[in-house]
C-alpha cells in the first residue's frame, strides 16, 4: 500500500492492537486513533457478569467508536496517515457473541444507521495469537478488570474473530500470526512486519513469521 491512508489494526484482547497502532503511526509519521476501553463505565461489570451488562457495554462501545470514526471524514487521507487500533465493523463480533436475540434486533438498527456514514480503511491488519498466548499477555499487562476474563470466553472470542475475518472483504486484509513474535520489544520483528505491510497491494495475505523472524 502507499504510505498515506487509513490503516485499521484488529484482533482479540491481548494480541497487541494498540501497541502496533502506536508503532505504525510513529513509523509512518501519522496520527493514531486509539480506543479508550477504560472509559466504558460498564466494562468492569461486564467481565464479572456478561449476561447482565452485555447490552449496555456494547451500546456504549458502538457509540463511542462511531464518535471517533466519524472524525475521519474530516481528514484528507491522501495527505495524512491514520492508524486506528480497531475496525468499526468488528463491533458486531462482540454483539453476536454476547447479546440475545431481542437485543440484537435493536443493536442492528442502530449499527446500520451509523455504519453508512463512516470511512472504510485502505488496509486492515488482523493480528492472531493462540488463546494461551493471549492469556499470558493479558496477565503480563495486569489490567484489573481483565483479570476477570474467562478463558472459555477468550477461546470463543478468538473463534468469532477468525470467522469474521474469513469472510471480510471491505478492504485489503493482512492476517498476521503473532504467537511467535514480539514486535514491541524486538525491533527486527517489527521491521519484518513493517515490510509486509508496505508491500501489501490488495486482496488477502497471510503472514506466519518464525520465532525471532528478521
Residue 169, burial from CB neighbour count under 10 angstroms (0-12, 13-18, 19+): exposed
For residue 93 the three cell numbers come to: 463480533
Catalytic residue flag (residue 142): no
How far apart are the C-alpha atoms of 123 and 201, rounded to whole Å?
A: 9
Nearest residue to 94 (alpha-carbon basis) of 121, 122, 48, 60: 60
**Of 85, 91, 122, 189, which one is the catalytic site residue?**
85
For residue 133 the three cell numbers come to: 498466548
CB 33 within 8 A of CB 118: no
Nearest residue to 146 (alpha-carbon basis) of 66, 40, 23, 61: 40
How far apart are the C-alpha atoms of 182 and 189, rounded to whole Å?
A: 6
DSSP single-letter state for residue 119: P
Query: Which residues are the active-site residues?
Result: 85
Amino acid at each position: 500500500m502507499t504510505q498515506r491512508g487509513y490503516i485499521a489494526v484488529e484482533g482479540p484482547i491481548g494480541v497487541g492492537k494498540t501497541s502496533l497502532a502506536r508503532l505504525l503511526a510513529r513509523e509512518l509519521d501519522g496520527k493514531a486513533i486509539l480506543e479508550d476501553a477504560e472509559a466504558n463505565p460498564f466494562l468492569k461489570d461486564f467481565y464479572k457478569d456478561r449476561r447482565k451488562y452485555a447490552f449496555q457495554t456494547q451500546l456504549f462501545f458502538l457509540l463511542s467508536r462511531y464518535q471517533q470514526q466519524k472524525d475521519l471524514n474530516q481528514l484528507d487521507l491522501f495527505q495524512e496517515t491514520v492508524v486506528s487500533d480497531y475496525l468499526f465493523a468488528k463491533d458486531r463480533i462482540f454483539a453476536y457473541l454476547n447479546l440475545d436475540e431481542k437485543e440484537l434486533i435493536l443493536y442492528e438498527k442502530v449499527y446500520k444507521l451509523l455504519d453508512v456514514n463512516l470511512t472504510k480503511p485502505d488496509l486492515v491488519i488482523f493480528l492472531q495469537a493462540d488463546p494461551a498466548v493471549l492469556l499470558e499477555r493479558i496477565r503480563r499487562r495486569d489490567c484489573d478488570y481483565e483479570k476477570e476474563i474467562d478463558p472459555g470466553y477468550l477461546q470463543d472470542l478468538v473463534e468469532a474473530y477468525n470467522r469474521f475475518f474469513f469472510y471480510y472483504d471491505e478492504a485489503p486484509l493482512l492476517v498476521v500470526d503473532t504467537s511467535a513474535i514480539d514486535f514491541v520489544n524486538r525491533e527486527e520483528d517489527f521491521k519484518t512486519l513493517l515490510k509486509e505491510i508496505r508491500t501489501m497491494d490488495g486482496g488477502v495475505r497471510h503472514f506466519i513469521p518464525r520465532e525471532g523472524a528478521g
